[in-house]
Structure formats: structure tokens, C-alpha cells
Amino acid sequence: MRRAYVALAAATVMGLAACGGGGSYSTVVGKIRNTGHVVVGTKWDQPSLGLVVGPGDPQGFDVDVARYIVNYLAHGRHVDITWRESPSSAREALLQNGSVDLIVATYTITEARRPKVTFAGPYVIVQQDTMVRATDTSIKKVSDLRGKRLCLAEGSNSYRRVVDPPPDGKLDLPAVLVNAANYSDCVRKLTDHRLDAVSTQNLILAGFAQQEPGRFRLLNDPIIDERWAVGIKKGDAATCEAVNQAIAAMWHDGTATRLLHKWFGKTGLKLPWYLPKPEGCP
């Protein structure tokens, strides 16, 4: 805790100093506290996680988590949030070029991403599962994906858990990969019989499944646990420490559990129920 408080104090000092020098902030937490504005990246096409329908801001679990974190970092003062769509294939670039300050968008911690991103959290641990058409009785468990058409969503690594061997993969199953722009595109192709299965985190799949009841079926055959974290520009340790405090508070005051039940309580999934151990900040 001492380390976290020192980091937060340093972030505030750096932010104030930067403000006097022309408005350039070296940390996101400094920017939030001194300008009252932040740019947050989320998904815009994932039901119950980050979805834009018509005019207005995105809605979903990740969006609500982001709002909680920003409010915590601002010490409860009003902050204007600009929401920016952050597809899987563009997340690292958006952070690196400064287009977004934080990304809360089903962002799994992986070793390949660590050199490019500072991860705060994880804020939740979810299981990778697989979704098929409800009428497809040929796929009952994950091993039945052998030889099937599996979606490869651009920028996502989930398909690797199925088709690659360890250490990067898990199952080493031969499957036919079908490219898609994102997971909503995967679901469209699944509906149109252009592929046979979509495998990724169960909360993502459950969001799509509950949007069209009876059309899809989750195998409930978990492959691996995935750690969803908040993406921050590489090297911003002060913001990372502050976000970790926000995540801990979100679980301790019951908000995380409430939000999970708000968005996924009717899916039948066994929902995450505990604060994940933080990865630590560089």
C-alpha cells in the first residue's frame, strides 16, 4: 500500500508540473485529476460488454468498469469521458500513439503484449469457452472441434488455445481457421453457416448468446482461464498502481459483483466472484 500511495502522489505532482508547461501530462492519472478529461477505449460491437446501439455512449460491463475506475482516479470529481472504439487489432497502436488513455475492452494479459502495454489488474478472470449453433449436435465438447471451421478474429489470440500446442496454445487440435474482422463478424458467419464454432472468453460469448436466445449454445467445456486487464501506455507505472487500487475498491465495495450480475446474471454462467491477484506494475 505504501508503494501505491507514493506512486499516486508522484503522479499528481508530475501532472501539475506538466500542466504549467503547456498541458502535456506524463501520466493518465495526472491528466484525469488536472484536466477533468480522459479518453477511454472500449469495444463497440460486443453485447453486454461494450455495445453502441444508435446515438449515445457504449453500454456494457466493461464500460461500467471503466466509469468506476475513472471516478475513483478523479477522487469523485466530475470527469468528461470521450469513448473511442478499440477493436482487438488496434488496441496496442491506439495506446502507443496516444489516441486513448485507457483501454477497457476484454483485453487479455499475454506475454506477447507485455512489451507493448502496461497492464493494470486483472479486474476479472474469465474462462475461454466455445459457442456453436444450437442445432449443431456434432460438437458437444471442445475436442469435437477437430477438423471443424473455427473463427479467427483479427487481433485476438483465443483461437491459438485451440489449434496451437503449448506453451502458446493449449489443445493442438487441427481446425480450419476462418478469418473475421472481430467477434461480431464471427457470430454473423456462425449464423450463416460459414464457420462451425467461435471460441473465446465465455462472457463475450454469453453476451452474443443472450442477445438472440435459442440460436446459439455454449459448450461449457472451459479451455483456459483468461485475465482481463486495463491497458495503459507502456511505462505509466503511477497510473497502473492507481488503477489497481480502483479495481481492489470495486471488488471490496461489491460493485464488481453487482455489475457482473447486472450484465450476465441471466446467462446461467458461473460468474467470477473474487478479486484477482494484481500482476504488478513495471
- Give me the pLDDT at residue 23, please: 56
pLDDT, mean of residues 130-149: 97
pLDDT digits (tens, 9 = 90+) for 210-238: 999 999 999 999 999 999 999 999 999 99
pLDDT, mean of residues 174-182: 96
Nearest 10 degrees: CA dihedral of 248, 234, 46, 44? 120
Confidence of residue 7 (pLDDT cuts 50, 70, 90): very low
- Give me the pLDDT at residue 138, please: 97
Task: Indicate whether 15 pLDDT > 50.
Answer: no
Task: Indicate whether 142 pLDDT > 90.
Answer: yes
pLDDT digits (tens, 9 = 90+) for 26-66: 999 999 999 999 999 999 999 999 999 888 999 999 999 99
The percent of residues in the chain predicted with pLDDT above 90, rounded, is 84
- Give me the pLDDT at residue 126, please: 97
pLDDT digits (tens, 9 = 90+) for 120-136: 999 999 999 999 999 99
Task: Indicate whether 166 pLDDT > 90.
Answer: no
Confidence of residue 16 (pLDDT cuts 50, 70, 90): very low
- Give me the pLDDT at residue 20, please: 32
Cα separation, 244 vs 241, in Å, equals 5
Mean pLDDT of the chain: 91
Say what the pTM is: 0.88
Show the domains of the chain with their CATH numbers: 2-125+227-264 (3.40.190.10), 127-225 (3.40.190.10)
Task: Indicate whether 18 pLDDT > 80.
Answer: no
pLDDT digits (tens, 9 = 90+) for 56-98: 999 999 999 999 999 999 998 999 999 999 999 999 999 999 9
